[in-house]
Amino acid sequence: MNNTLSCTTEVLIRFSECDALKMVWHGNYIKYFEDGREDFGKKFGLSYMDIYEKTALAVPIVHLECDFKKMVGFGETIIVKTTMIDDPASKIIFEYNIYNDKKELIAKRKFNL
């Protein structure tokens, strides 16, 4: 049985997030993934602080990878889809997919907490 939870977050690309080519600088994608993670936590009561307050456990990121598929630039709106992957191990795995307004995949990432 697949027990996955998902959340979508809209993000408007700001000028300060772009490089000289008016494309999002690659390091900012991590912020967009985190925007999705924070929305997911609010929606499902699984924020970093919720976990810490209920269990006294910290949840550091232990693995991070990102695949870039297309460029996105200033003024565009992206959709961050955050999905918690059901796993029998004692870890939390999130998968993130970023889409443009045409529903094309822009970037994807998976990280383990």
Residue 1 has a pLDDT of 42
Q: Residue 29's domain spans which residues? A: 5-112
Please compute the mean of the pLDDT values over residues 33-44 and round it to a whole number: 92
Residue 69 has a pLDDT of 94
Please compute the mean of the pLDDT values over residues 52-67 and round it to a whole number: 80
* Number of domains making up the chain: 1
**97-108 pLDDT tens trace:** 999 999 999 999
Task: State yes or no: is 19 an active-site residue.
Answer: yes
pTM score, whole prediction = 0.85
- Cα-only R_g, the chain: 15
Please compute the mean of the pLDDT values over residues 41-53 and round it to a whole number: 85
Candidate list 19, 50, 86, 101, residue with the active-site label: 19
Q: Which of 32, 75, 52, 27 is nearest to 92 (CA)?
A: 52
Domain CATH number, residue 93: 3.10.129.10
Q: Which of 70, 98, 69 is nearest to 83 (CA)?
A: 98
Residue 57 has a pLDDT of 76
Whether 82 shows a pLDDT value over 90: the answer reads: yes
Whether 19 shows a pLDDT value over 60: the answer reads: yes
Which distant-in-sequence residues (6+ apart) come within 8 Å of 44 by Cβ?
5, 7, 84
